[in-house]
Amino acid sequence: MELQLIPQITDQDNISFDSDQSRNKSKSFIEANTKEVSLTHLANDCIIPVFSKDNETTISHHQFVETVFEAIKMVFPMESISEPELRISHDIRGRIPEAIGKPAKELLEHEKTTYYERMAFIYEVKSITNIINGNELILSIGGVRAYNQENLYSKKTMEKFKVFIGFQNQVCCNMCISTDGYAEEVRASSTDELLSKVVPLFLDFNANAMLTKLDSFADYELTQRQFCQFIGKAKLYHYLPKKEKTAIPYLAMNDGQLGAIAKAYFEDKNFASNSNGNIDLWKMYNLFTGAVKSSYIDNFVERTVNSYQLTEGFIQALNGHEGYSWFLE
């Protein structure tokens, strides 16, 4: 393994924005029913939802993205940052008042309005990379916003955001995010308040500790029997009686994602099992993070974090601890 120390944070205010970066990737950090859009599109072509009882505006998607970028500049002032990759879903369409009663097929472009219920994005800190088990990982920072988790029919309240910092595996574009790099619910009523709550997450994130943990995954492996046991137990998990389920560590993946993991165990060109059927936990972890890319935007990060927890739990089980051993026995 090649393990480099993450540069120390300085108080200088000079950041390089890699605007010439090409995003000719065959894969994205999330798939499902999303499509890629530009920040300019979000800022110029989309309306901003309001809280209906007082007509106060929400923090828009593009303001959220720009606020996180400001936080990145503060914490990583000397690093080269990519343009953001933005993925959206659940298009909410409308029309201007002058187009009331007009058939939808006859609407002109300027008569249509739109915004997206859900949005996820990442920035890559291009100058902070490491090689883990032969794969290049780039420090990546992003967030998720889902208007379906807000009560837009009330007065303006604290709004909810999800923010994360971790690594992206450049071989497959899978995200590597741990609980230490994830804020599940950041509440803010302004961009200034949002900025003040995002910065500490980035400052407190111990990148070197996570890289060391990721590197250790390859030191452990599951036999084919243990892999099959996991797939079978995981499919049973969601149908367990409530009392039994609460005694077992949480599993976020659904049946379709478990099926994708089983298929990739044999067919994935980078992370398939060995010829004897064994699979090390680095490969297993990437099968997990690859499968959860099919999640909807609003639960994608939770499932990615759960993939990390599950892999850590398997290490504990292989070392004789209870808990996650239920999935392998």
Helix 281-291 and helix 297-318, axial crossing angle in degrees, nearest 10: 160
182 in the same domain as 93 = yes
DSSP 8-state code for residue 59: P
* Domain encompassing residue 304: 220-327
Find all residues with CB under 8 Å of 319, minimum gap 6, and list them.
none
pLDDT at 46: 95
Place 25 in a pLDDT band, splitting at 50, 70 and 90. low
178 in the same domain as 134 = yes
pLDDT greater at residue 8 or residue 152: 152
pLDDT over 90, % of the chain: 84
pLDDT greater at residue 274 or residue 106: 274
43 in the same domain as 62 = yes
DSSP 8-state code for residue 3: -
What value does the mean pLDDT take over residues 227-241? Answer: 96
Task: Decide the pairing of beta strands 221-222 and 182-188.
Answer: unpaired
191 in the same domain as 100 = yes
228 in the same domain as 203 = no
- Per-residue b or e along 119-154, where b marks 16 or more CB atoms closer than 10 Å to that residue's CB: bbbbbbbbebbbebbebebbbbbbbbbbbeebeeee
Domain's final residue, options 158, 181, 213? 213
Task: Decide the pairing of beta strands 112-132 and 85-95.
Answer: antiparallel
238 in the same domain as 142 = no
Rounded distance, CA 263 to CA 227, Å? Answer: 12
Residue 113 contacts residue 44 (beta carbons within 8 Å): no
Phi/psi region, residue 122 (left: phi>0; alpha: psi -120 to 50; beta: rest), is beta
100 in the same domain as 72 = yes
117 in the same domain as 35 = yes
224 in the same domain as 208 = no
Place 32 in a pLDDT band, splitting at 50, 70 and 90. confident
Residue 132 contacts residue 214 (beta carbons within 8 Å): yes
Over the stretch 70-120, which tens digit does the pLDDT of each residue have?
999 999 999 999 999 999 999 999 988 888 889 998 889 888 999 999 999
Residue 238 contacts residue 255 (beta carbons within 8 Å): yes
Residue 201 contacts residue 194 (beta carbons within 8 Å): no
* Residue 4 counted as domain residue: no
Domain's final residue, options 213, 245, 266? 213
Task: Give ∠ CA 165-168-171 in degrees, rounded to 5.
Answer: 175
123 in the same domain as 37 = yes
Q: What are phi and psi of 181, to 5 degrees?
A: -110, 20
pLDDT higher than 90, residue 31: no
Domain's final residue, options 213, 247, 273? 213
Tally of domains within the chain? 2
142 in the same domain as 21 = yes
The first and second tokens of residue 304, run together, are 């990615």
* Residue 121 counted as domain residue: yes
pLDDT higher than 50, residue 207: yes
Q: What are phi and psi of 85, to 5 degrees?
A: -100, 120
* Residue 129 counted as domain residue: yes
* Residue 319 counted as domain residue: yes
pLDDT higher than 80, residue 302: yes
Question: Residue 213: which of 280, 322, 132, 286 has the closest Cα?
Answer: 132
Task: Decide the pairing of beta strands 80-82 and 16-18.
Answer: parallel
* Residue 31 counted as domain residue: yes
* Residue 87 counted as domain residue: yes
* Residue 9 counted as domain residue: no
pLDDT higher than 80, residue 23: no
199 in the same domain as 114 = yes
* Residue 228 counted as domain residue: yes
